[in-house]
């Protein structure tokens, strides 16, 4: 691998790390994210200057779609070219999948606790074990 390819790979890693971090802390839309994105991309990493950032931000308001993702993808493109744009978009959007997986795991946990509680309650009231079936089905259903 040549020096240019190594530096491109390093830039892509930087884009992936930075945009994933922004994706993990970036709930709340563009209004809450402008300062965070600017701090990461302009102040800390110096990928673009302040005026360029403000131009990209202003442009993102007239383009349909999620503004924060558009701004971050543009910064990724500035740092690592077209591949940086793709990596930035994928890593920023990855947080939704992680959030939904966590939400799914939490839902399964709640269902398991409720099922267990129903099973224990049914056992304490002296009901026949056949009445426990719905609770055990809930408990064993798991993630779909």
The CB density around residue 36, as the number of other CB atoms within 10 Å, is 15
The position carrying tokens 């798991």 is: 142
Specify the pLDDT at position 144: 45
What confidence tier does 40 reach under pLDDT thresholds 50, 70, 90? very high
Give the pLDDT confidence of 106-130 residue by residue, as tens digits: 776 777 677 677 767 766 666 555 5
pLDDT at residue 54 above 50? Answer: yes
The position carrying tokens 């056992």 is: 123
How many Å separate Cα 106 from the centre of its chain? 16
Read off φ and ψ for residue 63, nearest 5 degrees. -95, 130
* pLDDT: which is higher, 124 or 46: 46
Report the chain's terminal Cα–Cα distance, integer Å: 43
Q: Could you give the maximum distance between any two Cα atoms of the chain, in Å?
A: 75
């Amino acid at each position: 691998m040549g020096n240019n390819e190594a530096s491109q790979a390093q830039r892509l890693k930087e884009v992936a790390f930075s945009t994933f971090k922004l994706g993990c802390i970036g709930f709340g839309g563009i209004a809450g994210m402008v300062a965070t994105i600017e701090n990461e991309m302009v102040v800390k990493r110096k990928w673009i200057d302040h005026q360029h950032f403000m131009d990209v931000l202003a442009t993102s308001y007239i383009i349909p779609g999620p503004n924060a993702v558009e701004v971050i993808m543009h910064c990724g493109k500035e740092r690592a070219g077209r591949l940086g744009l793709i990596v930035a978009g994928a890593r920023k959007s990855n947080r939704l999948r992680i959030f939904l997986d966590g939400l799914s795991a939490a839902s399964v946990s709640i269902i398991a606790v409720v099922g267990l509680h129903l099973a224990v309650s049914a056992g304490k009231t002296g009901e026949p074990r056949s009445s426990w079936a719905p609770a055990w089905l809930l408990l064993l259903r798991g993630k779909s």
